[in-house]
Structure 1
Amino acid sequence: MSALARTARSLRRTLLQAIPTVLGIIILNFFLLQLAPGDAADLMAGEAGSATAESMAALRTRFGLDNPVLVQLANYLNNLAHFSLGFSPRYGMPVMDLIGQRLPGTLTLMAMALAIAILIGLALGSVMSFFAGRLPDRLLSIFSLLFYSIPGFWIGLMLIVLFSVTLGWLPSGGAGTIGSNLTGWAAIVDKARYMVLPATSLALFYVAIYARLTRAAMLEVRSQDFVRTAYAKGLSPVAVTLRHVLRNALIPITTMAGMHIGGMLGGAVVVETVYSWPGLGRLAFEAVMGRDYTVLLGILLLSSLLVIFANAVVDLLQTWLDPRIGEH
């Protein structure tokens, strides 16, 4: 089977699985949020300080909150059919526009965090597998598992204390220097300075997972016959590790990376709140506090689509790493 045929087959299989999954997620999320106490009208009327039965009823009628649950679900599905995520009563703007403003920040943060976690995890796992059972292996195992055991918000606060308060190297929060009007390379550097701490804080939890997984995978691959054959051909240890061992060890790493996209979206809620990063995680937290369930439904739907897309990319990557996968 050609590479193009394997790719098309993998994409077709992913799409067929994604359609019922997305429908199930939409309906399940909708009914789960209906069980939550209160709504946006309660909070908005309370903040106005002049909540009356008439004003509450007017708000609920305006935003369709007084309709039966099944009617609200039908209206929501009708909006989705017209590529609309509805209107946010809290922010007074379409949910699609609101999410579009926050999405780039979260995607950039997650991409940087995932890159940091995979690169450090691969490096630590490779060293641990080379010194398996010896002192460096044990020390690095303890070091990596330390970050796995510490809560993410505490790591974030300690990074702020060390690098922002004590050393003064990096900003403690935000997404860029206010009023700087930087462009080009200077703007990229400024953005990167604000992203280092939240991305690192989000990544450290996953470093231990990738390090241990890389160690186990590389030890297993090294025992295979094709690796011994590569050594017998006279290839150097570095060439064998990069061309044979590491490539095959990447298959479980990519699988876990695809599964961790959803976890990173959840972790982004804490990290973006700690660092005041304007992203989807912080928007989800604000939507929960403001009882703006229309926004929350949009974020949950988009998060589901991101996870499905990430797993489709992982399937394609694994097909490239091991062509035999696409044949099953």
Structure 2
Amino acid sequence: MKRAIRLIRRRAISSIPVLLIIVFLTFLLLESASGDAVDAYLVSIGGGDPSLVQSLRQSYGLDQSMMARLWLYLSSLARLDLGWSVAFDRPVLGLLIERLPNTLLMMGSATAFAFGLGTTLGILAGARPGSLRDRLLSTTSLILYAIPGFWLGLMLSILFSVQLRWLPVSGIETIASGRTGLARAADIAAHLALPVATLALIYLALFLRVMRAGMAEVWTLDFILFARARGLSRTRIVLRHVARNALLPLVTMLGLRSAAMLGGSVVIESIFAIPGFGRLAQEAVSGRDAPLLMGIILTSAILVILINLVIDMLYSWLDPRVGASEAAS
């Protein structure tokens, strides 16, 4: 427990300069981009007179210098205030709290499904490398991984929503359904079935191949030969020795792919019209809403740091030597 607390403390301290660098670089990139929220608003209403433009820039604080706006934003962050969304005319923090749970629910379900089933199939394939089962699973995973996510999502939507009419075609839940409790949970699950399946099938193939490759490498190590010489059953060798040691690179891939799903959710949420974090980022870019986009990038960075912290904890559980070296350093 103490080792875990020390690891969390070290990660928390090291994440502070990382977040400051991300905020500073993101602010500079947004400043160097042409146009702002006022320009996007004028385009949507068909233009405006100079007095309107000047009043809008003053109300949004865009008439100040870059350093003044940066200092104002940093001081607001110190008070946990992420600013005001120009496009939605709402606080940024409220928008993030509203949209983020939908994406986390979709990503968490897809990651759990892909990791669980991909690991199981990878163990089945890696238990006997070169067998017919291994070749069939490896070929199937390669085909799945080669399919573009947007195309897979559209095909699943056409098949299960348009043709068979088994699942809803879009949204996070039925609008104004009045459902509560288990009925609402079942409705949300039905709406998330297709986007979760789309994300999970692609990453399932990746996890399967990584697990299979890791097990094929572990089979050649000396301690596996020693376990065979002791007369241990093949099932025990596969589960207790080969699969456990092959999990380390898979856990690393889990952390990388979980963070990448935040970017991939933009396409999936657009296809299935899910009001999530990725779609909010798309709306912020199209509306040139710099405060909202800054909040989205900062929140994404925090999520990536938290995911990597969980991966470090898993590493220390799978291999105590890793956790001991981290805590001691």
What SS does the aligned partner of 2:245 have?
helix
Instruction: Write the distance in 1 (CA, Å) between the matches of 2:128 and 2:317.
Output: 30
- Look up the match of 1:249: 246
Superposed CA RMSD: 1.7
Instruction: Write the distance in 2 (CA, Å) between the matches of 1:7 and 1:224.
Output: 30
- Look up the match of 2:138: 141
CA-CA distance at 1:323 after TM superposition = 0.5
The correspondence of residues 152-301 of structure 1 with structure 2, limited to 5 A, is 152-301=149-298
- Look up the match of 1:101: 98
Query: Is 1:46 equivalent to 2:5 in the alignment?
Result: no
Deviates more, 1:290-299 or 1:36-45: 36-45
What SS does the aligned partner of 1:271 have?
helix
CA deviation map 1:263-318 (0-9, x unaligned): 10000000001000111000000111111111111000000000000100110111
The residue type equivalent to 1:240 in the other structure is I
Aligned-residue sequence identity (percent) comes to 46
Contact persistence 1:9–1:326 (CA under 8 A): no
The residue type equivalent to 1:160 in the other structure is S
Instruction: Write the distance in 2 (CA, Å) between the matches of 1:187 and 1:286.
Output: 27
CA deviation map 1:39-72 (0-9, x unaligned): 1111212323351111111111101112111111
Contact persistence 1:40–1:291 (CA under 8 A): yes
CA-CA distance at 1:212 after TM superposition = 1.3
Number of residues of Structure 1 aligned to a counterpart in Structure 2: 325
Contact persistence 2:119–2:207 (CA under 8 A): yes
Contact persistence 2:127–2:238 (CA under 8 A): no
What SS does the aligned partner of 2:320 have?
coil
**Of 308, 323, 328, which residue of structure 1 is paired with 2:320?**
323
Query: Is 1:87 equivalent to 2:84 in the alignment?
Result: yes
The residue type equivalent to 2:93 in the other structure is M
The residue type equivalent to 2:243 in the other structure is L
Instruction: Write the distance in 2 (CA, Å) between the matches of 1:206 and 1:57.
Output: 49
Contact persistence 1:45–1:55 (CA under 8 A): no
The residue type equivalent to 2:136 in the other structure is L
CA-CA distance at 1:10 after TM superposition = 1.9
Deviates more, 1:76-85 or 1:49-58: 49-58
Contact persistence 2:259–2:307 (CA under 8 A): no
Contact persistence 2:255–2:308 (CA under 8 A): yes
CA-CA distance at 1:230 after TM superposition = 4.2
Deviates more, 1:137-146 or 1:171-180: 137-146
Deviates more, 1:257-266 or 1:279-288: 257-266
Contact persistence 2:123–2:212 (CA under 8 A): yes
The residue type equivalent to 1:13 in the other structure is R
CA-CA distance at 1:236 after TM superposition = 3.5
The residue type equivalent to 2:273 in the other structure is S
In the alignment, structure 1 segments of 5+ residues that lack a partner are none
What SS does the aligned partner of 1:324 have?
helix
- Look up the match of 1:126: 123
CA-CA distance at 1:228 after TM superposition = 4.2
CA-CA distance at 1:29 after TM superposition = 1.0
Instruction: Write the distance in 2 (CA, Å) between the matches of 1:301 and 1:191.
Output: 28
Instruction: Write the distance in 2 (CA, Å) between the matches of 1:167 and 1:160.
Output: 10
